[in-house]
Amino acid sequence: MPEQSVLTGLRVLDLTDHKGALCGRILADMGADVIKIEPPGGDAARRIGPFLDDVPHRDRSLFFWFYNLNKRSVTLDLSCPQGTGIFARMAAAADLVIESFAPGRLAALGLGWDRLRQINPALILCSIAPFGQTGPWRDYEANDSILAALGGMLYVCGYPKERPVRPLGLQAYHSGCHYAVIAIMGALFARDRSGAGQWIDVSFQEATASAVEHLAGRYFGENDIPRRYGTMHWFRGFRVARCRNGYVMHSISGDWNTLLEWARGDGKAQELTEPQWSDDSYRRANCERLYQILDEWVKDKDRDQLAERAQTLRLPYAAVRPIDELACDEQLEARGYFVDVEHPELGRTFRYPGAPFRLDATPWRVYRRPPLVGEHTAEILGGELGIGAEELAVLNAQGVI
Amino acid sequence: MANLPLTGIRVLDFTWVLAGPVATRILAAMGAEVIKVERKSGYIAPRTGIHGDLNRDKLSIALNMSAPGAIEIAHRLVRISDLVIDNFSARVMRQWQMDYESLVKIKPDVVCLSMSGFGHTGPRAAYVSFGPTLQAFTGFTLNMADEHGRPAGFSYSYSDSAAGFTGAMAALFGLWRQRQTGQGQFIDFAQFEGLVSLVGPSLLDLTINGRSQKPQGWRSQEAPAAPHGAYRCRARGDDDDRWLVIAASTPDQWRNLVRVMGSPDWAAQPLFATLYLRMRNHEELDAHISRWAANQDAEDAMAKLQQAGVPAGLAANAQDCCARDPQLAARGFWPTISLPEGGQTQVCGIPFKMSHTPVGVRRCSPIAGESNDYVFGELLGLSPAERAELIEKKILWP
């Protein structure tokens, strides 16, 4: 048995689709027993690519793997009374249910909060929905792109007046799932005192809006509407420049004199010695010209040498790298970030991204590879819930599991 | 305060700028007593705007960590705190003897969360970084290219927000274990690694399939969809920067979209007959949709499409979100708080509701040092004379 981790012993029923799957994944990484409840045939996320070796198959979706490492899987048809009956029995012995159905759907299945709290007063229910469980847009439909749009994230990505650039990765979902984990931990603290569970209502739209740092502060504080500024940071401290073999991120957020001396040492940027440039607010107000001068200075430099030299001067420059370089990044390598996970049924071992943070006494770890569809149905419903072999056979024949 | 999730938990907060304050803002909203350690300079950070939004619900002490004798005071605060949090690079807290190894000797069950850029080990442990540089270094800036292939990325520090959320989670995990076992620990959270973890399934396509990752543009990153894009809409007043995102995956969504557009002839062409064909011919499809959208008001079109069951959403700007969005307004997402100097301001709410222990914004952001009397007087029990002496010695700012 592995040592006790942070959430060892916490029993979680994960009803989420691809939108909410990261929430259970993070809890599972911290040691919770997260049981993914999939409809017979498997979670729709298993149909989302990319696929292993580009062969579409429900047990080869890298999308599903990313969000479901460390979970177990049970198949259960919640659209029939036998299925909801079994779920109710599972809920009686669980600490937490996470769901991302359309609002009202769980209640329509007879498994709403009022019912679940009767079954188990200590149960925590976490509902994550595009717009939350209330309000005029409650029943509106959205994917991650639409949530990025309505959360204010999309509008500020890209070049002025041109088509906004779609953020990479499902960041609206990720933000919502982060907040779901945070709320769940809060509910555990509260339950520790009161013994009672509660219902958490997370809105992906709100989570997205709260991840756009300058949205509310600029609007309510300065009556300003931030726009798109290309690669320039809205506070003007950073902008991308082309260099000899790629791109670098300029920064005027470090020590100005250090930067100036360096550029002048290269015989460049003489114009910046004019006295007005020593004023930070002048620099920000005239940042277009400033970055033009700095761009001219770095255009023949080597990307990595430039970034390294800047770091020795404690200037926050960075190489602008493609995602691909993460696979051979020396910092990630030195810290052992990527981990190998064995998939015995395929006879292969794959590299997964590892711990997003390191708790030294209770480390993040891989407990099990992502589950095959219904891999643990018999072990959980039979062994742990105590449903007999005969009944399991009948449920299987009826398509309930 | 009694019925908040984190009632009774005290956080000594050395964070600054963005990622750290985002994390402690969440803990504060959930009822933790967050004591922000600040320097006092001529500049007084306002209670409104971004600084106010980040630091509401916190207490502030003005403690000069560089002054001789300050560390002893800081250590006394650690003894009555559950969590010590910072987002410096590794060396700063060590210099102040505020690193985990020093603190565990005086407070055995302390949880220390360090939110540095690259972590406490490895060749880049000492690197200086900010959100935009981490985004560039991870690959977001280059792989979020525009349709002409120019790198774009975020024009803000998404990395700091995400690191704030991740840091809050890590803090809660450390605190929960402390509550359950009485044991503290050190948490080394490298914001870079947190951000890498959010790249998503593309990472596995890279490490497992070995596929080079190209900018994905407007291709759906989840269920296949076509149309799937942002389409320019009619100007609103003199604002011609209005865009509507539309995503149609299912046959019903496509049918309903066509109906809302008035069933134009082009939509009946065989080249748009199936989802696969619509994806393959998406450039022609996008051109048609763009022509339709150009005559639509973005918000009206969104409402029409949503009422017909088609996923659609306005690319909302700050004013749309903060002042015009009926959903965010109905859920009270922009709470109003009053300012002690008079007047009030609105801030960003907390994106979840809890049925039994409601969390939320209670107090505006403090001025640096505003909580000195409470923290040093009531919590540490220093007499007015002792506090005056600390001010004399330049350990505290008045």
B221 found inside a domain: no
**B89 — pLDDT class (breaks 50, 70, 90):** confident
Rounded distance between C-alpha atoms, residue B171 and residue B165, angstroms: 10
Which residue in the block uniquely carries the two structure tokens 């019903």? Answer: B252
Which chain B residues are closer than 8 Å to A159 by Cβ? 146, 150, 152
Q: Is residue B105 part of a domain?
A: yes
Do residues A157 and B323 make contact, with C-beta atoms less than 8 angstroms apart? no
Closest CA to B350 of B2, B56, B82, B50: B56
Contacts of B383 (CB under 8 A, 6+ apart): B377
Q: Does A274 touch chain B (CB under 8 A)?
A: no
Q: Which of B302, B324, B346 is where one domain is finished?
A: B324
Note the pLDDT of residue A398: 93
In terms of domains, do B316 and B348 share one?
no
| Inter-chain contacts counted by CB atoms under 8 A, chains A and B | 521
The residue type of B398 is P
Q: Is the dihedral of CA A3, A9, A13, A18 positive or negative?
A: negative
The whole-angstrom separation of Cα B125 and Cα B119 is 6
What residues of A are in contact with residue B161 (Cβ under 8 Å)?
A: 175, 210-213
Query: Would residue B375 be called left, alpha or beta, if left means φ above 0 and alpha means ψ between -120 and 50 degrees?
Result: alpha
Number of residues written out for chain B:
398
B239 is catalytic: no
ipTM score:
0.98
Domain end position, chosen among B286, B307, B324: B324
Q: Looking at the domain assignment, is residue B17 inside a domain?
A: yes
Chain B environment of A316 (Cβ under 8 Å):
128-130, 133
Contact A220 B176 (CB under 8 A): no
CB atoms within 10 A of CB A172: 29
CATH number, position B127: 3.40.50.10540
Residue-range definition of the domain harbouring residue B187: 10-198+331-392
Minimum CA–CA partner of A333 in chain B:
B122
Nearest to B352 among A18, A201, A326 (CB): A201
Q: β-strands A246-251, A318-320: how paired?
A: antiparallel
Determine, for residues B193 and A161 on separate chains, whether the beta-carbon distance falls below 8 Å. no
Q: Are residues B292 and B354 in the same domain?
A: no
Options B53, B99, B160, B286, the catalytic residue? B160
Residues B105 and B79: beta-carbon distance below 8 Å = no
- Side-chain-side CA neighbours of residue A85 (13 Å): 7
Asked if the A11-211+371-397 domain carries CATH number 3.40.50.10540, the reply is yes
B190 within some domain: yes
My answer on whether B184 and B85 are in the same domain is: yes
Going from the C-alpha of B201 to that of each of A12, A205, B2, B198, the distances in angstroms are: 23, 22, 42, 9
Q: Identify whether residues B59 and B139 lie together within a single domain.
A: yes
Say which DSSP state B47 is in: S
- CB–CB contact B196 A135 (8 Å): no
Cα torsion B317, A131, B48, B170 to 10°: value is -120
Three-state DSSP class for B6? coil
A362 → closest Cβ in B121, B177, B357: B177
The total number of structural domains in chain B stands at 2
Residues B354 and B318 in one domain: no
Residues B170 and B259 in one domain: no
**pLDDT confidence bin for B43, thresholds 50/70/90:** confident
Give the start-end residues of each E strand in A159-291: 199-203, 238-243, 246-251
Do B113 and B152 belong together in one domain?
yes
Q: Which residues in chain B are contacts of A44 at CB distance < 8 A?
A: 223
- If asked whether residues B194 and B239 sit together in one domain, one would say no
Strands (E) located in A226-279: 238-243, 246-251
Give the pair of three-digit tokens for residue A182. 């945070």
Tokens of A300: 């023949």
Are residues B123 and B156 located together in one domain of the fold?
yes
Nearest to B30 among A180, A186, A354 (CB): A186
In the DSSP assignment, the letter for residue A209 is H
Q: d(Cα A122, Cα A120) in Å, to the nearest integer?
A: 5
- Same domain membership, residue B56 and residue B114: yes
Q: Which tens digit of pLDDT belongs to each residue from A15-50?
A: 999 999 999 999 999 999 999 999 999 999 999 999
Residue-level pLDDT at B3: 86
Q: Which residues of chain A have pLDDT under 70?
A: 1-3
> Best interface-test mutation with A: which of B352, B355, B359 has the largest number of A CBs within 10 A?
B352
| Structure tokens belonging to residue A176 | 């919502």
Contacts B200 to A, Cβ<8 Å: 66, 168-170, 174
Query: Tokens 């605060």 label which residue?
Result: B77
**pLDDT, position A1:** 41
Which CATH number belongs to the domain containing residue B256 in this structure? 3.30.1540.10
Contact (CB, 8 A) for B330 and A205: no
Side chain identity, residue B390: L
Phi, psi (5° rounding) for residue A59? -100, 20
Contact (CB<8Å) B187/A358: yes
- The shortest CB-CB distance from A144 to any of B132, B199, B222 is to B222
Mutation site, A52, A114, A145, A291, interface B, largest B CB count within 10 A? A145
Q: Could A166 and B173 be called an inter-chain contact, meaning their C-beta atoms sit closer than 8 Å? A: no
For the sheet containing B59-62, what is the strand order?
Answer: A358-359, B185-188, B111-114, B83-86, B10-13, B33-38, B59-62
**Structure tokens, A391:** 């009944």
Token pair belonging to B159: 């990395």
Helices (H), ranges, B118-239: 131-138, 140-143, 158-181, 191-196, 202-207
Cβ-based burial of A253 (10 A; exposed 0-12, middle 13-18, buried ≥19): buried
| Surface-to-core class of residue B16, CB atoms within 10 Å of its CB (0-12 exposed, 13-18 middle, 19+ buried) | middle
Residue where a domain terminates, one of B307, B324, B341: B324
Q: Are residues B354 and B301 in the same domain?
A: no
Q: Which CATH class is domain A238-320?
A: alpha beta
Q: What is the pLDDT of residues A103-146, one digit of tens each?
A: 999 999 999 999 999 999 999 999 999 999 999 999 999 999 99
**Nearest 5°: phi and psi at A180?**
-65, -45
Q: Does the residue B223 lie in any domain?
A: no
pLDDT in tens, A293-328: 999 999 999 999 999 999 999 999 999 999 999 999
Kindly tell me if the per-residue pLDDT of B1 is higher than 60. no
Candidate from A4, A214, A362 with C-beta closest to B156: A214
Residues of chain A numbered 38-97 and touching chain B (CB < 8 Å)? 44, 47-48, 50, 52-54, 62-63, 65-67
Tell me the residues of chain B between 169 and 198 that have a Cβ less than 8 Å away from chain A. Answer: 169-170, 172-177, 179, 181, 183, 185-190, 192-194, 196-198
CA nearest to B241 within chain A: A161
> Is residue B134 in some structural domain?
yes
Please indicate whether, in this complex, the C-beta atoms of B216 and A203 are within 8 angstroms of each other.
no
Question: How high is the pLDDT of residue B2?
Answer: 62
Domain regions of chain A by residue span = 11-211+371-397, 238-320
Of A4, A26, A358, Cβ closest to residue B169: A26
- Report how far residue B314's alpha carbon sits from residue B293's, in angstroms, rounded to the nearest whole number: 12
Count the neighbouring beta carbons within 10 Å of the beta carbon of residue B307.
12
Task: Indicate whether B5 belongs to any domain.
Answer: no
Domain identity same for B247 and B368: no
Distance CA A140, CA B38 (A): 44
Q: Which of B60, B86, B115, B48 is nearest to B348 (CA)?
A: B48
CA B340 to chain centre: 27
Spell out which residues of chain A touch residue B190, defining contact as CB-CB under 8 Å: 335, 357-358
A230 interfaces chain B, CB cutoff of 8 Å: yes
- Return the higher-pLDDT residue of A372 and B398: A372
